[in-house]
């Protein structure tokens, strides 16, 4: 689908081919792969945070647990509706709609929108930088057996188009959460930096757009709305619940946006130096300027010329803080800070949370508010 430049101007890319079984199905249910989908208990699962209970070659639906109210609950506890295998669905007997999300923000948004009707698994494990991650055979099996698949799009998941094309016709409902959002073009220097480092086929700059759309709370709200539409299509009986959840979290996104505007509007400094070009949507929303140490990929390193340019920018603009990230090495940021007399702090692009953050109950909103405190201190 061709994207429009107006927020929400297009409908999300949702694909599904429901199939009814040969048996009679009670009114008000939707059948997919021959199974009736009904509402049920909540389970939210993030792969990689706990020992899998699934056997070899089967999806790890019981990889960890989290509550559906927005904060992560006890991790490492097996869910009672863990999938057993071939001919039964966790949704068939009052279980939850099974949703697979690509990486943390999509997992968190699907969990919030789905509430008590969904069981969400996260493909990219906790503490893993997602840019160059690719799914394993077991991950593809999990996708094929899911009821819905949520990905961000805008070039974030370089592997997703081929993967979606390989799914069977009666596979999961698929939604690109960034559909309809006005996408930010990458500058030529950032694209060139990524191309120069190669990344063995994982060039996220080749899409020409910045994929980190969720760092503007207004975009996060739009992504949740797209996810809600997809869940409603996969589970029509739950449409009212999904709509109510979307409205609740939309208000939270609006409140977060208001907090950012109030806190950042009057600060005299407006420039930040960051590890990679992840904060463009946030900076555009609140009148800031980012200088990335590297381009759109987080794990590449600058050459000597780039390091000198950044050091000159830091001195010329009285930049006092160099921002590193949770999931990448801080050594380059530390080198620039040492050269210029700045300090190193953390600004989180929320591409993934660590096990410790998940266990502490962190989520999109708490990390965004922590980011705001870091920005206020750095720019004051």
User: Could you tell me if 276 and 346 lie in one domain?
Assistant: yes
> DSSP string of 56-111?
TTS--TTS--B-TTSS---SSPPPTT----SS--TTTTS-PEEEEESSHHHHHHHH
Domain extent at residue 277: 259-379
Distance, C-alpha 282 to centroid of its chain: 15
pLDDT digits (tens, 9 = 90+) for 195-209: 433 334 344 446 799
pLDDT at 207: 73
188 φ/ψ angles, rounded to the nearest 5 degrees = -65, -35
Instruction: Work out how many domains the chain is built from and give that number.
Output: 2
Task: With H, G, I as helix, E, B as strand and everything else as coil, classify residue 339.
Answer: helix
Out of 229, 256, 283, pick the residue that ends a domain: 256
252 lies in some domain: yes
Which value, to the nearest 10 degrees, does the dihedral of the CA atoms of residues 133, 134, 140, 145 take? 30
pLDDT of residue 302: 86
Asked if residue 235 and residue 302 are part of one domain, the reply reads: no
Question: Is 269 found in the same domain as 235?
Answer: no
pLDDT for 340 equals: 96
* CATH (domain of 329): 3.40.50.1980
Which residue has tokens 């809600």?
228
> Which residue, 205, 224, 256, sits at the end of a domain?
256
Same domain membership, residue 311 and residue 225? no
Tell whether 224 and 288 lie within a shared domain.
no
Say if residue 27 is in the same domain as residue 61: yes
Distance CA 369, CA 380 (A): 16
d(CA 54, CA 83): 8
35 and 127 both lie in a single domain = yes
pLDDT at 14: 59
**Residue 158 domain flag:** yes
Q: Give residue-wise pLDDT tens across range 4-45.
A: 333 333 445 555 433 333 322 222 222 233 222 333 333 444
Nearest CA to 363 out of 252, 279, 263, 289 is that of: 252
Answering whether pTM is above 0.95, one says no
171 with 51, same domain: the answer is: yes
- Would residue 199 count as lying in a domain? no
Phi, psi of 149 (to 5 degrees): -130, 125
One domain, residues 313 and 235: no
Does residue 291 form part of some domain?
A: yes
For residue 328, the model assigns a pLDDT of 85
Closest CA to 142 of 159, 167, 162, 118: 167
The residue ranges of the chain whose pLDDT is under 70 are 1-94, 188-206, 296-300
């Amino acid at each position: 689908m061709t994207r429009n430049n107006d927020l929400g101007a297009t409908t999300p890319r949702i694909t599904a081919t429901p199939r009814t079984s040969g048996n009679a199905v009670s009114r008000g249910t939707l059948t997919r792969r021959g199974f009736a989908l009904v509402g049920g208990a909540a389970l939210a699962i993030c792969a990689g945070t706990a020992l899998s209970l699934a056997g070899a070659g089967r999806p790890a639906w019981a990889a960890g647990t989290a509550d559906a109210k927005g904060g992560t609950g006890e991790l490492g506890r097996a869910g009672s509706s863990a999938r057993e295998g071939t001919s039964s669905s966790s949704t068939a007997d009052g279980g939850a709609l099974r949703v697979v999300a690509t990486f943390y923000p999509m997992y968190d948004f699907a969990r919030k929108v789905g509430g008590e009707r969904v069981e969400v698994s996260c493909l990219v494990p906790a503490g893993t930088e997602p840019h160059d991650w690719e799914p394993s055979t077991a991950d593809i099996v999990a996708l094929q057996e899911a009821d819905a698949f949520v990905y961000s799009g805008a070039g974030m998941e370089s592997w997703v188009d081929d993967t979606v094309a390989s799914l069977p016709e009666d596979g999961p409902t698929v939604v690109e959460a960034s559909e309809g959002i006005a996408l930010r073009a990458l500058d030529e220097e950032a694209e060139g930096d990524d191309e120069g480092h190669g990344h063995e086929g994982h060039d996220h700059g080749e899409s020409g757009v910045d994929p980190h759309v969720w760092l503007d709370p207004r975009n996060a709200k739009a992504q949740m709305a797209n996810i809600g539409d997809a869940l409603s299509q996969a589970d029509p009986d739950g449409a009212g619940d999904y709509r109510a959840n979307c409205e609740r979290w939309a208000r939270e996104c609006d409140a977060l946006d208001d907090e950012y505007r109030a806190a950042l509007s009057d600060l005299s400094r407006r420039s930040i130096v960051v590890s990679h070009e992840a904060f463009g949507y946030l900076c555009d929303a609140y009148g800031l300027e980012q200088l990335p140490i590297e381009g759109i990929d987080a794990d590449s390193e600058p050459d000597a010329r780039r390091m000198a340019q950044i050091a000159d920018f830091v001195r010329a603009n009285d930049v006092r803080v160099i921002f590193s990230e949770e999931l990448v090495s801080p050594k380059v940021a530390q080198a620039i800070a040492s050269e210029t007399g700045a300090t190193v702090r953390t600004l989180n692009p929320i591409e993934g949370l660590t096990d410790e953050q998940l266990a502490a109950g962190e989520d999109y909103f708490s990390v965004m508010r922590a980011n705001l405190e870091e920005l206020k201190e750095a720019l004051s």
